[in-house]
Each structure stands twice: as structure tokens, then as C-alpha cells.
């Protein structure tokens, strides 16, 4: 089992170099947050097949190009949208996953909205294809998008859960990344305070209670 970098230096340091190959990662966050920056960074660190279920492929490609802090890998990211059969489309994209590549599903909400058996079939197919490629799957799971029982299926099946929590006060917008689950490694004991502007960095500002 190989360790694959996330493209986010602070996470790679915390995880001893990155994530175990074959991992399914769920990134949970508010739709109004900057969680796309985290997903985009995961997508750009190596060859990637990116399935967008809500935004247009053109919008995703534009967002990837705006991440000024990422290592350029534009030619290695192939973005596709869903068409007639979302599950077949997703598994078709996964079939094209390069060795040690990254599969991104953004967002996974439309799949979660289906019946549980179909969703389990989808997750099983994704896991099998990612394991065969020794790659990583990233499921962008927006909070409040489904609020149904299949969200629990997503986080239960996932090997790693990145839970981004955004709070707004009168003086700041604070982003804290909680990693409560990490199969094959150690979950974080404390939240990481991130600065999410046009890139992903560690927020070194002091918290004032």
C-alpha cells in the first residue's frame, strides 16, 4: 500500500506523506464554504478523472485554473459531466482512472438521493476501481444536500473523512478541518485551522475566546 500526497502540505505532514492508496475520501462541508479549494487541490496533485454532477465541466475547469497555490497539472485532469445514467457515467469515468490517479465525484449528493441498493452498488464499483488503480477516490459530500440516510452510508464506507466546518462571527470567518476517521492511519486529535481564500494554507492567527 503506497502513500499518495494530497497536494496540501499541512495534511501530508500530519499523515506521514499523504493518504493510503485505494482510499475512499469523503469531504463534507457547507455548500457556502470554500471546500472546492480542498477538492481542487486533491484533483490537481496527480492525474485525475473528475465527474461533476451539478456544475458544468467548463465551470470546474475554470476553478481548477484559478488555484494559484497548486502545482500545475491541467493536462492531467479530465473533467466530465453526467448524462442519461449518472451511475453508469460515474463508473465509466472510474474505468478510465490512471494508475495511482484520483477520482473526484463533485458532488455525491445526486447519487445519495437514490435508493440505498443503487447507491451501495455505486460505492462498491468506485472502491473496486480505485483499488485496482492503487489510486484515491474523493467524494464531495455537501451538508444539507440530501439530509437522508445515505449520507451515513457515505461516511461509513469512506476510509477517510475530511469534515470542514465554517463558522462566521462579527470579526472573522473561521475554517476548521476535522479528520475524525482515517483507516490505515491515525485520525487527527485536534482540528486544523485553515485559511481558505484563493488557495489552501494554515491559518496562524490567534483564536480569541
Q: Where do the structural domains in the chain lie, given as residue ranges?
A: 21-172
Residue 184 clears pLDDT 90, i.e. is over it: no
Mean pLDDT of 105-113: 93
**pLDDT tens, residue by residue, 125-152:** 999 999 999 999 999 999 986 667 899 9
pLDDT at 122: 94
HEC states along the chain?
CCEECCCCHHHHHHCCCCEECCEEEEEEECCCCCHHHHHHHHHHCCCEEEEECCCCHHHHHHHHHHCCCCCCCHHHEEEEECCCCHHHHHHHHHHCCCCCCEEEEECCHHHHCCCHHHHHHHHHHHHHHHHHHCCEEEEEEECCCCCCCHHHHHHHHCCEEEEEEEEECCCCEEEEEEEEEECCCCCCCCCEEEEECCCEEECCCCCCC
pLDDT at 58: 95
Mean pLDDT of the chain: 90
Instruction: Please give the share of the chain, as a percent, with pLDDT higher than 70.
Output: 92
Residue 33 clears pLDDT 90, i.e. is over it: yes
Measured in whole angstroms, the distance separating CA 63 from the mean position of its chain's CA atoms is: 15
Instruction: Give the residue among 150, 171, 168, 202 at the shortest CA–CA distance from 33.
Output: 168
**pLDDT tens, residue by residue, 154-173:** 999 999 999 999 999 888 89
Residue 74 clears pLDDT 80, i.e. is over it: no
Q: Which CATH fold would you assign to the domain 21-172?
A: Rossmann fold (3.40.50)
Residue 209 clears pLDDT 60, i.e. is over it: no
pLDDT classification of 206: cutoffs 50, 70, 90: low
pLDDT at 199: 87
Amino acid at each position: 500500500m503506497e502513500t499518495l500526497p494530497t497536494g496540501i502540505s499541512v495534511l501530508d505532514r500530519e499523515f506521514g506523506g499523504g493518504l493510503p492508496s485505494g482510499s475512499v475520501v469523503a469531504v463534507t462541508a457547507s455548500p457556502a464554504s470554500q471546500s472546492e479549494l480542498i477538492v481542487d487541490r486533491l484533483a490537481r496533485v496527480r492525474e485525475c478523472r473528475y465527474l461533476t454532477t451539478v456544475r458544468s465541466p467548463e465551470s470546474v475547469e475554470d476553478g481548477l485554473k484559478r488555484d494559484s497555490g497548486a502545482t500545475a497539472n491541467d493536462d492531467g485532469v479530465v473533467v466530465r459531466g453526467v448524462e442519461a445514467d449518472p451511475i453508469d457515467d460515474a463508473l465509466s469515468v472510474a474505468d478510465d482512472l490512471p494508475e495511482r490517479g484520483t477520482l473526484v465525484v463533485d458532488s455525491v449528493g445526486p447519487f445519495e438521493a437514490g435508493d440505498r441498493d443503487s447507491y451501495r452498488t455505486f460505492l462498491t464499483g468506485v472502491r473496486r476501481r480505485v483499488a485496482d488503480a492503487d489510486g484515491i477516490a474523493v467524494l464531495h459530500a455537501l451538508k444539507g444536500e440530501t439530509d437522508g440516510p445515505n449520507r451515513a452510508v457515505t461516511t461509513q464506507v469512506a476510509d477517510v473523512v475530511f469534515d470542514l466546518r465554517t463558522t462566521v462571527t462579527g470579526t472573522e470567518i473561521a475554517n476548521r478541518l476535522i479528520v475524525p476517521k482515517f483507516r490505515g492511519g491515525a485520525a487527527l486529535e485536534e482540528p486544523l485551522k485553515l485559511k481558505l481564500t484563493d488557495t489552501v494554507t494554515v491559518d496562524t492567527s490567534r483564536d480569541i475566546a
